[in-house]
Structure 1
Amino acid sequence: MDQNYLLKQLEKKIKSGEELLQYISEVKDVNGIDKLKKKIMQEINFLLKVLRSREAKKEHLLCTNLHHFEALARCLISSHGSIAVLRHFTLNRTDGSSKRICVDIVSQDGQCWVKVIARNPKALSQLSTGEGEFGQRSILDHAREYLECACQHPHHFRKPKVGDTSVVFEFACGIEKLLADRLETLGITVCGDRLDIIESLSPEPQGESDDEDSYTSMTTNSQFEDLGGSEHKLNLDVTAMLAYVSNLTNGGNYFEFKEPILTQQAEWERARPVKPTLDKLFKGKCLVCCESAMKDFKSIVSTLGGPDEVRRANELISCITVVPNMISERAQRKLRLGGKIKQRSMIVFSTGDAMRAVTVTANEGFVRAARNQGVEFAVFIHESRALTEGKERDAKVLVSPCNSTLSQSAKS
């Protein structure tokens, strides 16, 4: 696709995002509205960064969540008695597990839940008939979860019932009549244009977003499957995020540390730099990670990271879509915890597995152990790099090959 055309489309999308912020600027007394504005601004800033780089790809337009936010905002403005956006509720399952459900809009003073869907109607119908890719779930699956969750969270002791308006699915791009009828049979109130059967599937935006307090570009269980399986989506492990922001990979590799493992990693970095490899891998991709990975990454950076590493971490976080923890069916069925198979690692890799996204990681031990138990994950493995900025003050500075630039002055 022509680069000038893509750049013009990016400019249009940025402008539409700015207009969207203006559109909702006067919305008051709605819980979560500031988070929605913040997320829209994050999307705009990311597109601006791509625009400035002059290296736009069609994936940047397809992956932006602005498509979803625009539909959400229109629905919010037209809804009566809206009290919250991107509100989370817990769905407790019969097996004792639980998951978080994000309701796009809570309206009618709390009596109605609204899910906004801005997907291609043909794609929705194909998923509902089992034609989707592995790991994708249909809008019917989401409908059942919404209804079950709504029953667990009655408003003023009132639970939804078939034909009630307690759970509404708003289809911004329309919905095929047959699928709309099936949703209504379940008890969902369907809003949006009713369409006859669509013969062909046209390209569609892939981002639908959700929110999670301090997380960036969050997507929930009820929505993240809509991202679909794609070769341009990467699932980041904690080890990948740490390697990307470490001082070792950003110019600080000419040190001999008191810790032998750090000195070894510095030697590896001088011989085989990790950052250029990750930069090349990340270019033009949608970066995602699960809730647990992001939580642990933030905790490690806040505890061990130096000022530059914290800055880089914040920059990286702004480019990542955080999705809920997921345990894929085959991992649940085949993997046994113990040894290299830790619960957190299983969640990280399972999330990528469920999304059909390649997991970027330095945790080769888990990958081997999982393979030995019959589960082969799609991964990109790189060498491990720890956070080192806080250790530099006690380390011996080595002279670079140029005999002029020391690693301490080479920080990015």
Structure 2
Amino acid sequence: MKGSDGYSTNSNPKLIEDEQKRCRAVEDRIRSLPLSKITNSCKRTLLRLVNSELEFLSRLSSNSPNFAGPICVNIGYLESVVHILQQTFITGVSRVCKPIPLTSGNGEKKCFPSKGVHVDIVCTIDSNPVWFVVSDRNPKYISWSGSHKNKGLRMRIEQVVEAAHSSLTLKPSSIILFFANGLDKVLSLKVGDEFGASEFGKEFFIFDSDITEELEGDWVKLHARSFRGASIFQIKIDAFMDTVSSSEPGLKDPLRGTATLELPKYRSNLVPGDAFCSLISRIKLISLDTDSATPEALLGEELVNFDTTALVALVSGISNDDTDKLLATPESELTKRFKSNTEFVIAQVKSEIQTPILTELEAVISGKICMICKTVHLEFKELLSMCGGSNEKWRADHLLKCLLVVPDHPSARMMGLPTTRKIALKNKILFGTGDYFHAPTLTANMGFVRAISQTGMPLSTVEHRPRALTGD
């Protein structure tokens, strides 16, 4: 159920050539995966694995051109991994085809297994962290109890579940078992009975992996890979809901209040139908005492967590029709107002003229409950008092009435990361609170997002273009 899953084929020149074409097709699909879904580091890992297959096939072809014995190739396994990564519901891919070490309660690595447990994909689904374990084996060669050659499916699953329970920063909400070629009915029942696995609820889009080449002006199909016979199971990890102790920094003194159910009344200088009014009218309002706001209380609701950059972008004069006014302002006055940030602000103005940001953000938040934590609420109000103009403060007042303000409550896995210059405590609290509520965080702080991805921890975020307060 990992990279060693391969199959044998006779190594005549034609078969080797076909396998090389499959490798190149997978390579193209990996390169086409968007960076909004998967990190560059993960793409490099996958490309390195494909390159190893190509090098093996190339050596076999050149060193033993007439050899007719069986060979073992792993390209089917890589096809399966990439097929999963192409699914639209897969986001935040932070780790692929690597072992995850087992740790004890005091943080020490366990002795068994010595190299950790191999997990094929660490990602998020519906803002929840998930592990995928992938098998491309022929079902008739998958045994439950194993042998001296194979540890068996039962032990394999036990080790992954143990790793999930022992992990902190990488802890998943569930483990997905993906059997690309299906699984025997008897073993399927055992997976359900012994591990509480159920069929995975989401539908996989079926991509037929066609490999074609041009012969005399016509494209000819050489191979097609379908995953219609795949068996997919989900094992939920109960320990995911563990939270940080209330003695941790940032968890005391919860903010009291409720989110209003009455749509704010707008001043006459903002007519109904303008971009800002349209946007906040799309936010789903909820009446909930914030002290009782928990993931359980909001179960079934779609949430979006805002950081301070998102709030600024929503109320900024740049986002709200001040672009012409700013461009008409003399450069000396702009420099006096924005100092060393002048070029940064002008770049934002040009970006706004080309693509208005509120239209993009409305699509992200429409019909969702929008939340902020106490830290963001206080930071935003302080920033407004120092840099915001009267119109920006007015918009902020109406925006905040539409948001659910919750106590700082970062997830245990986020607080388990070491605090560093790039992973500051404040950001761990605000992003971690979104993680605790299973809400993606809307942010322009991609430096922090990149720092988290480098730890291997999957985190659900939505990027927006930065905007600054103009003092308007």
Structure ranking higher in helix proportion: 1
Per the TM superposition, whether the score is higher than 0.5 is no
Q: Tell me which structure has the larger Cα radius of gyration.
A: 2
Structure 1 length as normaliser, TM-score? 0.42
Structure 2 length as normaliser, TM-score? 0.37
